[in-house]
Copies of this chain bind each other. A is one copy, B any other.
Amino acid sequence: MKALHHIAVCVRDLDSALRVWRDGLGLELVGVEEMPARGIRMAMLRVGDVMIELLQPTSDASEVAGFMARHGEGLHHVALEVDEIDSALRQANVAGMSEVVRVAGAGAGGTRVAFLHPRSANGVLVELVETVPEMNHRT
């Protein structure tokens, strides 16, 4: 396990949430992104080496809207960066964490992710993230 990659928080309204996390707590806003396919609008803030994602649902059909209907605002998931996602999933499985919610192939930037069900991890939805080394030697 290499690092805590990000934590994600569901919010009702991104603009008022930015007043809390950026203005009130002083985190650095890195960017705001619309993700229509996931039905969310997301703000990314940096604190040290970790990102805090604020997720506002933009569609009642989005998974985040469903989560908020059950739980209200609050932490949605914790993401851990791993070297290799398949071996990380095998290790989790051996320890009895068998409920994998979703494994996604190479996404933006080649990142691969998997989600472990909260029932497997003390009520916390855990995302595993396999990042791709940055291309530092472009020509």
Contacts and interface: CB of A to CB of B under 8 A. Distances in A.
A24 B73 contact: no
A10 B123 CA distance: 9
Contacts of A28: 1
Query: Which of A1, A17, A122, A124 has the most B CB atoms < 10 Å from its CB?
Result: A122
Contacts of A52: 4
Contact of A24 (B7, B78, B81, B92): B92
Interface in A83-126: 88, 91-92, 94-97, 118, 120-124, 126
Contacts of A120: 20, 24
Contacts of A80: 25, 47
A54 B124 CA distance: 12
> How many copies make up the complex?
2
Contact of A95 (B2, B24, B75, B82): B24
A25 B92 CA distance: 6
A136 B36 CA distance: 51
Given A7-B78, A24-B96, A54-B122, 18 more contacts: A2-B47, A4-B50, A7-B7, A9-B123, A9-B124, A12-B122, A20-B96, A23-B91, A24-B95, A24-B120, A25-B80, A25-B97, A25-B126, A71-B123, A73-B122, A74-B122, A74-B124, A75-B78
